[in-house]
Structure 1
Amino acid sequence: MGRLQLSFLCGRWHNMDSRFRAAHPLYKWFFGFCLLLLIFVFSNRFPNELPNAQNANTVSLLSRIVNVTLTPQKYFVKTAQCHIPFVNPFNDEVMKIYKPQTFVVCSNESDLVTSAYDSQRQRYVLHINQQVAQELLNFTDAEYNCFYEEISYGQHVDTYDKLKADKYFTDGYVVPKHVEGMLLECQTAEEPHKVLQRDALIFIQYQPDEPTPKKRASVPRKPSVIMYGIDSLSRINLRRTMPKVYKFLKGTGWYEMQGYNKVADNSFPNLFAILSGYSPDTAKSQVCDTDQSGCFEEMSMIWHYFKNASYLTAYAEDESGSNTFNYLKPGFTEKPTDYYFRPFLRALEEETEVKRLPGQFMRYCMGRRLANRYIYDYCRQFMQRYVKERPIWGMFWTNHYSHDDPFMPSAMQNKVLTDLTNYRMDGAFDHTIMIFFADHGTRFGKLRDLNSGFLESRLPMMFIYLPPWFREEYPSYARALEINQNRLSSNFDLHNTLKHVIEIGGGIPGMPELPKSYDCPTCQSLFYPVPEDRTCAQAAIDEHWCTCEPYRTISHLGWTDRIAESVIPRMNEYFVEKNLTHLCSNLSLSYVHNTNIKTGLDISWHDELPELKEAVYRTKFKVQQNSADFEATVVFNNVTETAEVNVETISRTNSYKEDSTCIEDKIAKLYCICFSDLKP
């Protein structure tokens, strides 16, 4: 049936006598059915399901039709103490700037050398594709040789050893078990040698489980846990840029934590809260300074708990300069997990041909492959080797495509969807609790400047998958996750949930109960229902990051400038306290973008605001120095014109990487405009 025919049929029904339509019980059903058919026809007309320059208006039209006709979702969370509004990812405002990106391949050539795992021998085998070789040799009879250099761990845990001597191989070569990574090359035999293809392969080499004396038959089955992370991706932007992935994540067994609210500004404190249960400041006062070498070994990180509970562990990221524990941090002094990717990453970055996309800082290709392909292939191998025979924990994190461009995930959605479907095809989901998550949303750029920018930055995506056996054996935990989908939660809850998984699996010998997150005594495992009347304070979410209570824009010209003007002196005092005045310029106000006042849940949009001596405001302003943009949450006294503000919670909402090159302090870099970087 064509679109015109379908529209005509539905239109004829819709134009029937209104009294008949009102009385007919099938009318509403039929009209909804017509809408679904129209959407189906349009989606087939635009099969990529991804808005572009030609179909953006169609997507916007369809989203408006659905939102008007079918009851739209108004809130991510609406509880007694928390209202987090739902954001239409295809609203008119965002569609003016949304530009879906095109996937860029790293190589158009087929693989000359591939690896396959021989499950009987429990070894990797290299195969040379003779047809590809002939193509690369221009179908001549020229001979060629293939060899590899082994990548191995260096003396320092975060580096790789000097590459070993060339090892020649032929088709069917069995990779030695000690080889976990290799740089390989095939070249013509005759001189001068012509390189046919260079490549890199990383392996999860199987190590059999050490037998334990007298394994107890009564020990509960232990679920594996895999954390698949994408930097800077909000739940709103996931829906917008990866609709196919979002559809997959709405399948059976998946639970979306729509009230998941970040607890800090950038990656490190948000991930650190999940992995340690601490904020960096509390860790410094209670355990050790995360800026000091050796601290991450002194901290009881989540992988230590899993390791002590007999889990095999792995950790991998894809951009060494931005790695969570290495960006302006000391990194590790000891190998943190059983399988640790960073030494191989450093070799890939330094020994392969690196490509960056125009205007992008992070590496896009390393050799013939996407940077993130190494990470998620490593994840797949880890699960393939072990998940069916023993419990594993692993975190696999990508920075390179999502950090600098909020719309670049649109180019990657097919790759991410392929990862998830491959894991399912391998049977990994039968054994694994998967956490598909982000650290935060978009922190700067055009998306951040929208009316919904405040929510975009504070609401990272968070999906939790429970395997069928787990849902059957622990129905109350599955029910709790279902309830908690629309209740407020935070990073510290996820930390407690990970420890709860360990306790379900029998816990750690000699430790009957694991300590909960230190920084949030009122946080809990998400396998229990979160209190309906929970507040941000109870989830250890600071006022500046809290999305629970509404703000209303105020437009008293001139008056709102006083709030921003009261914040800037606090920022300049901060430079004095940090002893940075010789490096960082004093800041001065250029103009105020907007100012909002916190209204509270009991005041509707139409109610007149009461006159308050003191109130909470959110002000977004630009300073004269390098046109830097900031957003601050301020308790402002209208009588004394004094402000209470925690400078280290002020958000920088445009890029700062070229403004603060003179300092290494990870937090102060947000606010410092170096004298050496000042623009005229």
Structure 2
Amino acid sequence: MDSRFRAAHPLYKWLFGFCLLLIICVLSIPKGNQLPNVTNRNTISLKSRIVKVPKTPQKYFVRTAQCHIPFVDPFNEDVMKIYKPQTYVGCSNESDLVTTHYDSLQQRYVLHINQEVAQHLLNSTDEEYNCFYEEISYGQEIDTYDKLKADKYFTDGYVVPKHVEGMLLECQTAEEPHIVLQRDAFVFIQYQPVEPSPKMKKPLVPRKPSVIMYGIDSLSRINLRRTMPKVHKFLQGEGWYEMQGYNKVADNSFPNLFAILSGYSPDTAKSQICDTDVSGCFEEMPMIWHYFRNASYLTAYAEDESGSNTFNYLKPGFTEKPTDYYFRPFLRALEVETEVTRLPGQYMRYCMGRRVVNRYIYDYCRQFMQRYVKERPIWGMFWTNHYSHDDPFMPSSMQNKVLTDLLDYQMDGAFEHTIMIFFADHGTRFGKLRDLKSGFLESRLPMMFIYLPPWFREEYPSYARALELNQNRLSSNFDLHNTLKHIIEIGGGGELPKSYNCPTCQSLFYPLPEDRTCAQAAIDEHWCTCEPYRSINDLEWADRVAKSVIPRMNEYFAEKNLSHLCSNLSLNYVHNTQIKTGLAISWHDDLPQLEEAVYRTKFKVQQNSADFEATVVFNNVTEKAEVKVETISRTNSYKEDSNCIEDKIAKLYCICLSDLKP
């Protein structure tokens, strides 16, 4: 070998080693966002160098010039002491013997009998059985059902006649004595083709969005986050807007839903149109479904638990069929004719036959959308009371069912055509949750989510931007009413009258004023969550305020001619009294003992340990109290205290002499 190469060999060797090391280093560089797996404790990994900016905790639902609604942590320490997530309870462990299928070619429902299930129930492959159904139909009085029709026998593949909208069915052994294999019930949205008209021959310009209102009783936005986190996460998706400043305008279901559906309060309706306690009034009222129907929408209305239905609980109900599809007659048949199950300690029905009650309501909703939403504009309201009204934590057992509903609607393509309003009437009104510091907000801030389909957001970007802005501004039921009217107008329905009770309310598709007050949204002081209150530590001062309210309540019984039925009330003790401070006063400032101020007092009376919460204007000098008795909240259950009267509002305050406990 040449001596020159021998002399240079160490240098070549070093260069070769350097290049090899460089190649290894280049190949070891992580690709994309991959980070090296560093196991040496003394080595600082690349991950540790990434500074994650913590998400600022939300402090307010609304923080505007005239309204501060504080955000409530749904899992704070106080609530976690009482929060008990519930487990879903099914109504049957058996597989379905009979199922239904909609044949889109025939546009008919088909009954299928599962032979394997039949053989299992018979415990035999040879024994014969028969299946038959009884038709449920509307009664002469629209709020009930007609006498069940004669038995109609059917076999596998039976095509349900178009006139049959509901049925009770049964399969039993052929030989006597008959043994029932399974009972079931179905309610159908039977498809009716659009009647041709000159208007319908032309394409709908502008396009009319369908509107579906999916409602759950007594569910606040705070409790939704707590009991249905999966549902809440779904509602954070694209196209959904949460009205975090939505504040109820009344105590219970009827006046809050009535405000949305009519634009009136019951009192104003009584003075301007008719008394909602009198039969026939609801037919005179300009209900929202009339406006939708006049704009060529197909309409539907469904609720569960007939005794608590919005227009029937201590109300006369309807004398005429209010919407094209009306569920109540079928509900009454299910309640009477099927086996009903209630959960321990619960008043409302939980199972009707083989199904949880709310399944009938939301399946009815899905059928309504499946049959029509791609063909024509529809409006429908589908409402459930039974699992959320009596127990604020029961929604936790239903969250998978509710989430499945929303996912099913999405899978069906309904969201491509539909503005969906996912909402409640109010929050929890009584019980342990109501007794917490956050109970005032829990009861007054119902959940309210609005979904806009992609085409609507694209065609009306200013409406979508306004809705996004309004998420954190004060809004009320009357604004929602105006929004429904606005949707009809968008579809070419012409200008419609807005909410009578709130001249300063508007559609949520326009920016709400930044400096809006509760008065401008027609929210009474007692329900308003905008301005802070601070507790009064002076017990004598606090007691004087509470004591001033009770005489007003006793005077109320006299004015209503109820003194012979309702016991006079007397103070037991005061839970808490607070003074309204206004937005300008800091928590660190001393409380001034003003001559006259607004107070919120929560107290217990001697009679049956009833708890009340009142908002009162109290004068410290004259001891004069101004309070609207019918806005006073009852914060514990009253169902065993007022059986002697039927007045829906007075029941909150009346402790019947006949129901007095020793």
- Which residue does the alignment assign to 2:533? 551
- Which residue does the alignment assign to 1:77? 62
In 1: Cα distance, 2:544 partner to 2:591 partner: 19
| Counterpart selection for 2:548 from 566, 570, 574 | 566
* TM superposition shift of 1:555: 1.0
| Counterpart selection for 1:600 from 572, 582, 590 | 582
* TM superposition shift of 1:147: 0.2
TM-score, with length taken from structure 1: 0.90
Any residues of structure 2 matched to 1:623-634 within 5 Å, and which? 623-634=605-616
In 2: Cα distance, 1:423 partner to 1:195 partner: 35
| Counterpart selection for 1:307 from 284, 290, 293 | 293
In 1: Cα distance, 2:185 partner to 2:492 partner: 40
Q: Which deviations, in whole Å up to 9, do the C-alpha atoms of 1:144-199 show, x marking residues without a partner? A: 00000000000000010000000000000000000000000000001111100000
Q: 1:582 to 1:218 in 2, by over 3 A?
A: closer
Q: 1:28 to 1:481 in 2, by over 3 A?
A: farther
Any residues of structure 2 matched to 1:637-648 within 5 Å, and which? 637-648=619-630
TM-score, with length taken from structure 2: 0.93
* TM superposition shift of 1:71: 1.1
Residue 676, structure 1, aligned to residue 661, structure 2: no
Residue 195, structure 1, aligned to residue 177, structure 2: no
- Which residue does the alignment assign to 1:408? 394
In 2: Cα distance, 1:115 partner to 1:277 partner: 39
Q: Give ranges in structure 1 of 5+ residues lacking alignment.
A: 1-7, 33-68
In 1: Cα distance, 2:151 partner to 2:612 partner: 53
Q: 1:610 to 1:513 in 2, by over 3 A?
A: same
* TM superposition shift of 1:9: 9.7
In 2: Cα distance, 1:29 partner to 1:160 partner: 67
Q: 1:593 to 1:9 in 2, by over 3 A?
A: farther
In 2: Cα distance, 1:89 partner to 1:108 partner: 34
| Counterpart selection for 2:591 from 602, 606, 609 | 609
* TM superposition shift of 1:572: 0.1
- Which residue does the alignment assign to 1:527? 509
Residue 142, structure 1, aligned to residue 127, structure 2: yes
Q: Give ranges in structure 2 of 5+ residues lacking alignment.
A: 1-36
User: In the alignment, residue 328 of structure 2 is paired with which amino acid?
Assistant: R
In 1: Cα distance, 2:202 partner to 2:384 partner: 39
- Which residue does the alignment assign to 1:649? 631
- Which residue does the alignment assign to 1:125? 110
Q: 1:321 to 1:28 in 2, by over 3 A?
A: farther
User: In the alignment, residue 595 of structure 2 is paired with which amino acid?
Assistant: K
In 2: Cα distance, 1:540 partner to 1:135 partner: 61
In 2: Cα distance, 1:399 partner to 1:75 partner: 29
Q: Which deviations, in whole Å up to 9, do the C-alpha atoms of 1:113-149 show, x marking residues without a partner? A: 0000000000000000111111111134110000000
Compare CA radii of gyration and give the structure with the larger one: 2
Per mean C-alpha deviation after superposition, the further-off stretch among 133-142 and 588-597 is: 133-142
Residue 297, structure 1, aligned to residue 279, structure 2: no
Q: 1:665 to 1:104 in 2, by over 3 A?
A: same
- Which residue does the alignment assign to 1:63? none
| Counterpart selection for 1:389 from 364, 369, 375 | 375
- Which residue does the alignment assign to 2:32? none
In 2: Cα distance, 1:85 partner to 1:403 partner: 25
Q: Name the SS for the 2:336 alignment partner.
A: helix
User: In the alignment, residue 88 of structure 1 is paired with which amino acid?
Assistant: D
User: In the alignment, residue 393 of structure 2 is paired with which amino acid?
Assistant: F
Q: CA RMSD in A?
A: 1.7
- Which residue does the alignment assign to 1:89? 74
Residue 431, structure 1, aligned to residue 433, structure 2: no
In 1: Cα distance, 2:144 partner to 2:475 partner: 37
In 1: Cα distance, 2:49 partner to 2:192 partner: 61
- Which residue does the alignment assign to 2:19? none
- Which residue does the alignment assign to 1:619? 601
| Counterpart selection for 1:576 from 543, 552, 558 | 558
Q: Which deviations, in whole Å up to 9, do the C-alpha atoms of 1:509-555 show, x marking residues without a partner? A: xxx31000000000000000000000000000000000000001111
- Which residue does the alignment assign to 1:37? none
Q: Which deviations, in whole Å up to 9, do the C-alpha atoms of 1:585-604 show, x marking residues without a partner? A: 00000000001110100111
- Which residue does the alignment assign to 1:55? none
User: In the alignment, residue 605 of structure 2 is paired with which amino acid?
Assistant: V
Residue 332, structure 1, aligned to residue 318, structure 2: yes
In 2: Cα distance, 1:588 partner to 1:611 partner: 26
* TM superposition shift of 1:404: 0.1
Q: 1:28 to 1:458 in 2, by over 3 A?
A: farther
* TM superposition shift of 1:327: 0.1
In 2: Cα distance, 1:371 partner to 1:72 partner: 38
User: In the alignment, residue 519 of structure 2 is paired with which amino acid?
Assistant: A
* TM superposition shift of 1:213: 1.4
- Which residue does the alignment assign to 2:430? 444
- Which residue does the alignment assign to 2:160? 175
Moved over 3 A (4+): 26-32, 214-218
Q: Name the SS for the 1:560 alignment partner.
A: helix
In 2: Cα distance, 1:140 partner to 1:466 partner: 53
Q: Name the SS for the 1:525 alignment partner.
A: coil
Any residues of structure 2 matched to 1:206-605 within 5 Å, and which? 206-214=191-199, 215-217=201-203, 219-507=205-493, 512-605=494-587
* TM superposition shift of 1:558: 2.1
In 1: Cα distance, 2:551 partner to 2:128 partner: 73
Q: Name the SS for the 2:319 alignment partner.
A: coil
| Counterpart selection for 1:164 from 137, 143, 149 | 149
User: In the alignment, residue 245 of structure 2 is paired with which amino acid?
Assistant: G
User: In the alignment, residue 471 of structure 1 is paired with which amino acid?
Assistant: R
